[in-house]
Amino acid sequence: MVRVSINGREYSVHQGSTMVQAMWYTGHEVIHGVGCLGGVCGACATVYRIEGDFRLRNALACQTLVSEGMSFSMLDSYPIQRAHYDVAALTDPKEELFNYYPESATCRNCNACTEVCPQGIDVRDSVWRANFGDFKAVADMTFSCVMCGLCVSRCIAEMAPHEIALYARRSYGAKELPFPPNLRHRLDEIHSGTFTGDLKRLESLSPDELKKECEVRS
Amino acid sequence: MADLVESFYANTPAFDDSPPSSLSPEDRSRLLSSYYPDYRPEGKATLKVGPNKGTVVPQELADVLESRSRLPSPRHLPDHPDHDVDILILGGGGAGITAALFAAKEGRSVLLATKLRVGDSNTVMAEGGIQTALGEDDSPVVHFRDTFRGGHGANDPSLLSVLVSEGPEMIEWLVSRGILFDRDPQGGLSLRKGGGTSKPRLISAKDYTGLELIRVLKEDVVNAPVEILEFSPAIELIAGPEGSCAGAVLYDLDSRRYIYVKAKSVILATGGAGRLHLAGFATSNHFGATADGLTMAYRMGIPLVHPESFQFHPTGVLFPSEMAGMLITEAVRGAGARMYNRLGKRFVNELETRDVVASAIIRECAEGRGVKTPQGASGVYLDLVSIDRDSGEGTVERRFPNIVKLMKRHHVDPTKKPILVYPTLHYQNGGIRIDARTRTTVSHLLVAGEASGGLHGTNRLMGNSLLELFVFGRRAGLEAAEQSLHRPAFSWKETSLSHLDRFEKELTSAFPATERPMAPVLFPDYRRKES
């Protein structure tokens, strides 16, 4: 067993449990702060300290094991400003970034966002690359972002780096990357009815005929 | 914890790479009937009440289908509804969001209510990809045949035909919204191989496919003219004139009050059932996957199709135990990962369909060839190291960064060590019976996504569920928009919860001596338990 403090109250919990499991074990009903329990939904951003260490740390509670003297509280939701835009209607996304997120240009390079990111993303660099219009680089470096918003909680320029990265990734995908030729080709075939007859025929077969027909791997 | 992991791996045998013997169709059916949980008699119950009376289903599912309402009797609706909308969408995963976006575009008033936050769903957890036939030697017809064969011929051909022919259009839509799928050197969408398919057909966003989809579509739905109620799961459907559906009762998890919604059309997109932990299996599902939609629809008398059929994904993490149930995508096997038993031998072709591979793992463990964890559970090795050996150093890291990140957090580096796995409850193959327009036997109630049934037969192929969300999510949204336009006006006074009284009366006569459990259960309760 290890000694932990949850929301300021002390408990004894099993070693090897995650923070969320420790909350369940001690009878907490966790609703805000739980989602996928698999480290991708970003619902369980948590702030913690270890006894004897002044550092304030952050983690995803479903992914982080408790340890002796750990004191933690969940950060269920962090208020953010989100841009209202339609990615299809953007005409010059790199310029428009500064209309939607003017604060992105005010990064003071403190690097707190990078240090706090539970996914290990170089968040500070991604903000600068967005500012300089290198959206491809932003897409590559922020692809594992789970939108937990911990970067927002630490930003001294009060921006939302994860939203800026989302904007950059989407703009890159919708506006910069060419439309995939293999998809274009298949869509053309479908629209000209290439497969309609075959599919209609399959649909019209009796269950047994259809089974026989599909048994053979083409 | 690092010590425990190290001592566990100290006993790893040398792996023998010789291929396993191949299976005849008879071998496959024998394997399935002997080991696959769907076909085992243990832990089952025969439904005594409702439209699927007589069907044998897992006990845990029977407990929620044959259950009492959370609303105590006598039940009354308030004088006025709290919301009056054209379209009410229950569920905020991939299908619900897609339906909302397409319905809102038609100019209808849309309310989307969901149990947790928008996007908290099984969709966001999808790793491997979306199946869509884009290869030169592939076609929607081949996709149809593979899926029908994989589903043991129990698929509804009319749903399947819609899936394969509208799939590519939905991928076009996703690309236009800025979803970043992996590309090949020519700029086309990269196609990967999944189990049970004859062609490479999976398009993916590394192993973050669901996350990438939800991040983008969540932003779109939040920015769309859609009213969103989070932390407000539906607990009952409301009946309207002539046995139709006319809205739903939501439960506000924060204020603990009921919210009454009147709607011209209701779309159920409430997802699956993994958190019921059928037969005691761990699950890869999100926290809210408790078969709520099935429960509510069943009380309204809507038949379920293949309610006995579930997908136990072959490769859920078994060790370290705090990660139990977490999925390792099938795409790793498509890329060349291999499985070994305690003796270091391969025991099944890793690209058989999911049910066959899962059965083979269960067999190995049942016959003593499983690897024991310090907690006494048994599993088999899933070795990704062979991927790097076959396709070059760094392939695993590049294609499966999420798996590498998650496992390394728990002191297992999958580029160096095998992952211990055992089947995990992953997907509800069946569900509420729908037609190709997503309609049910109750008018103005539509269903899309995992809550619906028929499309996948009794075994789903990888990547078909993500495709289903978009194809049938859009269909549901557009169908609801159309229906709500033409539905004759009706008043709140014509609505009722009388179907609940009817159902509970049947329940009392079928189970005279016992108090039935209450459902929807909304969440599993893991509190105050040892593990």
pLDDT digits (tens, 9 = 90+) for B169-205: 999 999 999 999 999 999 999 999 888 899 999 999 9
Q: CB of B205 within 8 A of CB of B212?
A: yes
- Residue A94 CA to residue A100 CA, distance in Å, equals 10
**B333 included as an active-site residue:** yes
Could you report the per-residue pLDDT of A175-189, keeping only the tens digit for each?
999 999 999 999 999
pLDDT digits (tens, 9 = 90+) for A52-85: 999 999 999 999 999 999 999 999 888 888 899 9
> Is A218 a residue whose pLDDT tops 60?
no
What Å distances lie between residue B203 and A141, B118, B347, CA to CA?
A: 20, 24, 28
Q: Which domain-ending residue is among B369, B392, B425? A: B425
- Between CA B354 and CA B306 the distance in angstroms is 17
Does B438 reside within a domain? Answer: yes
The residue from A22, A43, A74 where one domain ends is: A74
Residue B241 pLDDT: 97
A56 and A96: one domain?
Answer: no
Verify that B324 and B391 share a domain, yes or no: yes
In a domain, A16, yes or no: yes
A91 plus A164 within the same structural domain: yes
For residue B76, give Cα distances in angstroms to B72, B245, B248.
Answer: 10, 17, 13
Same domain assignment for residues A47 and A111: no
Within a domain: B142: no
Q: pLDDT of B86-140, one tens digit each?
A: 999 999 999 999 999 999 999 999 999 999 999 999 999 998 899 999 999 999 9
Examine residue A116 and state whether it is found in any structural domain, yes or no.
yes
B117 and B229 together in one domain: yes
**Residue A13 shares a structural domain with residue A65:** yes
User: Which pLDDT belongs to residue B443?
Assistant: 98
The mean pLDDT value of chain B amounts to: 96
* Whether pLDDT at A90 is above 60: yes
CATH code at position B274: 3.50.50.60
Contact yes or no for B505/B492 (Cβ under 8 A): no
Task: Tell me: do B349 and B329 sit in the same domain.
Answer: yes
Residue B415 pLDDT more than 80? yes
Annotated catalytic, B527? no
Quick one: A96 and A166 in the same domain? yes
Among B101, B105, B211, pick the best mutation site for testing chain A contact (most A Cβ within 10 A): B211
Q: Which H or E element spans position A152?
A: helix A150-154
B225: helix, coil or strand?
coil
Q: Report pLDDT for B263.
A: 98
Query: Total structural domains in chain A?
Result: 2
Q: What's the rounded Cα separation, in Å, for the pair A184 and B4?
A: 52
Asked, for residue B381, whether it belongs to a domain, the answer is yes
Task: Tell me the two tokens of residue B274.
Answer: 């993994």
CB atoms near residue B136 (< 10 Å) = 10
A85 touches chain B (CB under 8 A): yes
In a domain, A208, yes or no: no
Let me know whether A109 and A171 are in one domain.
Answer: yes
* The residue type at B63: D
* Euclidean distance between CA atoms B376 and B374, whole angstroms: 5
pLDDT tens column, A101-137: 999 999 999 999 999 999 999 999 999 999 999 999 9
Is A190 within a domain? no
In 3D space, the residue among A58, A38, A116 whose CA is nearest the CA of residue B405 turns out to be A38
Whether B75 maps to a domain, the answer reads no
Q: Tell me B398's DSSP state.
A: H
Report pLDDT for B196.
Answer: 86
The answer to whether the beta carbons of residues B417 and B119 sit under 8 Å apart is no
Q: Indicate the residue among B425, B441, B459 that finishes a domain.
A: B425
Domain span holding position A32:
2-74
Give the pLDDT of residue B392. 94
Task: Check residue A17 and give its pLDDT.
Answer: 92
* H or E segment and range at residue B477: helix B464-486
CATH number of A40's domain: 3.10.20.740
Cβ-contact B299, B500 below 8 angstroms = yes
Distance (Å, whole) CA B145 – CA B416: 38
ipTM above 0.90, yes or no: yes
Q: Is there a contact between A214 and B148 if contact means CB atoms under 8 Å apart?
A: yes
What CA–CA distance (Å, rounded) separates A129 from B409? 28
**B 266-285: CB under 8 A from A:** 284
Considering the domain architecture, whether residues A60 and A91 belong to the same structural domain is answered as no
Give residue-wise pLDDT tens across range A190-203. Answer: 999 999 999 999 99
- Contact between A175 and A94 under an 8 Å Cβ cutoff? The reply is no
* Residue A205 covered by a domain: no
Q: Give me the residue from A43, A84, A203 closest to B157, CB to CB.
A: A203
Chain B nearest C-alpha distance from A66 (Å): 11
A214–B125 CB contact, under 8 Å: no
Residue A187, domain member (yes or no): no
The answer on pLDDT for B531 being more than 60 is no
Inform me whether the pLDDT recorded for B375 exceeds 90: no
* Any domain includes B74: no
* Contact at CB, B142 and A218, closer than 8 angstroms: yes
Residue in B454, B471, B469, B475 with CA at minimum distance from that of residue B157:
B454
Residues B220, B101, single domain; the answer is yes
Span B451-481, pLDDT tens digits: 999 999 999 999 999 999 999 999 999 999 9
Q: Are the beta carbons of A190 and B165 separated by less than 8 Å?
A: yes
The total domain count for chain B is: 2
Tell me if B173 is assigned to some domain.
no
CA distance B37 to B35: 6
- Interface contact A214-B117, CB threshold 8 A: no
Query: What pLDDT is attached to residue B372?
Result: 95
Q: Is A11 helix (H, G, I), strand (E, B) or coil?
A: strand
Can you give the residue range of the structural domain that contains B227?
A: 83-131+203-309+429-494
Nearest CB among A21, A166, A181 relative to B187 is that of A181
pLDDT bracket for residue A217 (50, 70, 90) = low
The pLDDT, as a whole number, for residue B530 is 67
Question: Of B425, B442, B460, which residue sits at a domain end?
Answer: B425
